[in-house]
Chains A and B, each alone.
Chain A
Amino acid sequence: MHIPDGYLGPATCGFFYLVMLPIWTTASRIVKKTLNARQVPMLAIGAAFSFVIMMFNIPIPGGTTGHAVGGVLVAILLGPWAACIAITVALVIQALLFGDGGITAIGANCFNMAFVLPFAGYYIYKMISYNCPENSKRRIIAAGIAGYFALNLAALFTGIEFGLQPLLHYTASGQSLYCPYGLNVAIPAMAGEHLLIFGWVEAIVTALVVKYLQKQDPVLLGMRKEVEL
C-alpha cells in the first residue's frame, strides 16, 4: 500500500500534502493536550510496531504481496490522533531510509495509512465495544472487525488514488504519464487482495494483541479513555 514515487501525478501528490497538513497540525495539538508522559513509551512502541509489522510481506502465491499496518491497534490503545502521529513517523522513515513509499507520495500514503486507517479502526472498535467492560470478549471481536475494515478502507483509497491517474495525466498519443491502471483495474486489485487476504492479517494481529493485553494488563486498554476527545 506504499505508493512509490512516479505513480501519482504532481496534482495528486500536492493535494494530499495539503490535506495532511491540517491533520498533522491538529494531531500535534490534540496529542500535546492529552498525552501524558507515561504514555510516551507506549506511543514509541506503537510506532515501532507499525514500522516492523509492515515489513512482514505476505505473498499471494505467484502474485503480489501485502501486509498489515498495525495502526488500528495503536488507535485502540492511544486514540486515533496519537496513532496518526505514530504511523506518520513510521511511514516517513520507511520512505526516507528504505525507499518504501515515495517521497512525493508521503502525503497520500499518510492519508491512507495514518489517517483513514486509524480513524476508521478506532470508531468501528468504539462502536462495537461500546459500554463493554475491559475484559469482555466483545472487545477482541471488535478489534478484529475494526482491523479488517480499516485496512480495507485504506486499500480502497489507495486504489482510487492509483486509478485516477490515467484520467488526470496522459500524453497526446494516449499513453499514461503515471500509474497506467484506471479505476476499473486499480480498485478491484487493491480492494480484492485486501478483502481476501491482507485485511484478515490486520484483523488477527489487532485481535490477538488486544486479547493478550486483556489478560496481561487490562489497564492499558483503558489508557485510551484519557486521550479521547
Chain B
Amino acid sequence: MKTIAKLWIGLGVLVLLSPLGLLFPEHFKAGAAWGEWGTEEIQKLIGYIPQGLAKFSSLWSAPLPDYAFKGQEGAGLSALSLGYIVSALIGILIVVALVFLIAKLLIKNK
C-alpha cells in the first residue's frame, strides 16, 4: 500500500482514539488548560472576573463548543465521546477541504 494511503488510515485511527483526549483528563481530574478557564473558574481562582475578560469571553458562539454538540454539557461520557469523534471527523474534513482549496488557488495562480 502507498504510504499516503497508510497515513490517511492512521488519521482515521486517531479520530477513533480521540476520546482518550477527553477521558484521560476526566479520569485524572484535570481541569482546563492553563489560561483557558471559563469565567466561573476564574471567579473561583482570583475572586473576581476581569471586566475585559467578561466582555470578550463570549464574543464567539462556536457551533460545536469544546468538540461537543451544543447543549451536551453534563451529558454522559459515552455521549461526549461520540460528540468528540464526530467533531474530530467534521474538523478533519473541513481542514482537508480547506488545504486542497488553498493549494488549488495558489497553484492555479502560478
Contact = CB atoms under 8 A, between A and B. Distances in A.
Interface of A: 1-7, 9, 28, 31-32, 35, 37, 40-45, 47-49, 51-53, 55-67, 85-86, 89-90, 93-100, 102-104, 158, 162, 169, 171, 175-181, 186, 189-190, 193, 213, 216-217, 220
A52 B90 contact: no
Contact of A6 (B29, B55, B67): B55
Given A28-B102, A59-B25, A180-B50, 6 more contacts: A5-B56, A5-B57, A31-B106, A57-B30, A85-B102, A190-B35
Interface in B69-110: 84, 87-88, 90-92, 94-96, 98-100, 102-103, 106-107, 109-110
Nearest to B8: A45
26 contacts: A3-B35, A5-B56, A6-B55, A28-B106, A55-B87, A55-B88, A56-B14, A56-B17, A56-B21, A57-B21, A61-B28, A61-B29, A61-B30, A64-B31, A65-B25, A67-B33, A90-B95, A100-B67, A169-B52, A171-B51, A175-B48, A177-B52, A179-B35, A179-B50, A189-B34, A190-B35
Contacts of A96: 60, 62
B18 A56 contact: yes
Contacts of A42: 4, 7
Interface of B: 3-4, 6-8, 11, 14-15, 17-18, 20-22, 24-25, 27-36, 42, 46, 48, 50-67, 84, 87-88, 90-92, 94-96, 98-100, 102-103, 106-107, 109-110
B103 A40 contact: yes
B62 A64 contact: no
B67 A98 contact: yes
Contacts of B46: 180
Contacts, number: 208
A180 B60 CA distance: 21
Nearest to A40: B103
Given A55-B18, A55-B84, A89-B99, A6 B106 contact: no
A64 B36 CA distance: 10
Given A35-B107, A102-B56, A216-B6, A55 B21 contact: yes
A7 B27 CA distance: 28
Contacts of A176: 50
B6 A44 contact: no
Contacts of A9: 52
A176 B14 CA distance: 40
Contacts of B14: 49, 52-53, 56
A176 B8 CA distance: 46
A67 B21 contact: yes
A98 B21 CA distance: 15
Contacts of A62: 28-30
A104 B60 CA distance: 9
Given A48-B92, A59-B24, A99 B60 contact: yes
B103 A43 contact: yes
A60 B8 CA distance: 30
A193 B107 contact: no
A52 B4 contact: no
